[in-house]
Amino acid sequence: MAIQVLGARGSDLATITFVTKGDPAAQLKTMRTTVPRASAPAFRLMSDILGGEDYNVFSCTAFAGTSRKIAGTNTYSAHAWGLAIDINPGVNECCNTSLQTWFARATSQDLYNAAQKIISIRTNTSNVRVFGWGGNWRTKKDWMHFEVVCTRAQMLEGVHTQ
């Protein structure tokens, strides 16, 4: 998977494209979304971790003309702000399954290994974690969900992997 910053949309937004490898005989899959410009380097690192694999990436952003509220609430989700990405949503749906049940799926171990690397991305100065993973939630698990959990100011410090 690769992410390219295609250009600004507003003063603090960047449009990025995820390109994923599918079936070798098929065309590459792409998904464009709008994110806060400060978070683009973190999504680029996420791309490097997931690079070359067959992932389906989903995001829904208010910046793209849609709004997504958290189910059953009037609160906009991290997706609506361009701060969350779902990986393979058809396979890793939100559910209450245990880690062992989730691991029984063919692709779960690969995503788990990638998730551990993604949540190890940190800010340069304050060494704060950049991404949270729905697989670590204490309540209802959301195995596909990754979202930015640091502040914009922390993100502007730059990012690195540990």
For the entire predicted model, the pTM comes to 0.80
Digit-coded pLDDT (tens) for 24-80: 555 566 667 778 888 888 988 888 887 766 777 777 665 555 566 777 888 878 888
Mean pLDDT of 2-10: 50
Distance CA 72, CA 9 (A): 30
Fold for the domain defined by 2-160: Muramoyl-pentapeptide Carboxypeptidase; domain 2 (3.30.1380)
| CA angle in degrees (0–180, nearest 5) for 49-55-57 | 95
Q: Is the pLDDT of residue 1 over 50?
A: no
Q: How far is CA 156 from CA 5, 74, 110, in A?
A: 16, 29, 30
Domain definitions of the chain by residue range? 2-160
* Per-residue model confidence (pLDDT) at position 52: 62
Contact criterion met (CB below 8 Å) for 28 and 21: yes
- Strands 84-87 and 145-148 come out as antiparallel
Q: What would the DSSP string read from start to end of 38-84?
A: GGHHHHHHHHHHHTTS---EE---GGGT---BPTTSSSBPTTTTT-E
